[in-house]
Amino acid sequence: MYLIFKHSHLSLMLISVSLLIIRTIAVTVDAQWLQKKWAKILPHAIDTLLILSAIGLMLLIGQYPITDHWLSAKIIGLFGYIMFGTLAIKGQKSVASRIGMLLIALCFIGYMASVAISKNPMPWIS
C-alpha cells in the first residue's frame, strides 16, 4: 500500500508541476484553451488528489506535522509553491514577472523534494 501512495504522490506532483509550467507559458502567450472548462478544473483535481495522497502517506508512515518537523517544513513550502504559482498565472502581466514567479515556485518544489528525501527541514545543513 505504501508504494502505491508513494508512486501516486510522486506522479501527481510531476503532473502538477508540469501543469503549472504549461499554464504559465499559456497565460503568457494568451492561449485560448485556458478558458475551456477542463483547463480550469483539471489543475484543481490533480492538486486535490496530490494532497489526498500526501495525507495517505502521512497516515501510513505515522508521521505528522508539528511532531515531525520535516513535514511541517513541507507544508510551509507548499504554501510558498501555491502563492508563487498563483502569482505566475494570475499576477502581473509582464513576461519577466511571470517567469520570475514561476522560478520561485519551482524553487519551493525543489526545497520540498530535498526535505522529503533528507527528512530534514534544513536539508542544506545535513
How many distinct structural domains can be found in the chain? 1
- Does any domain span residue 124? no
- Does any domain span residue 57? yes
- Does any domain span residue 52? yes
Of 89, 115, 119, nearest in space to 101 by CA:
89
Which of the four pLDDT bands, split at 50, 70 and 90, describes residue 126?
A: low
Q: Are 14 and 65 in contact (CB under 8 A)?
A: no
- Does any domain span residue 104? yes
Tell me: the pLDDT tens digits for 40-87?
999 999 999 999 999 999 999 999 999 999 999 999 999 999 999 999
- Does any domain span residue 126? no
- Does any domain span residue 12? yes
Question: Domain range for residue 86?
Answer: 2-118
- Does any domain span residue 54? yes
Tell me: the pLDDT tens digits for 92-122?
889 999 999 999 999 999 999 999 999 999 9
Report field, pTM of the whole predicted structure over 0.85: yes
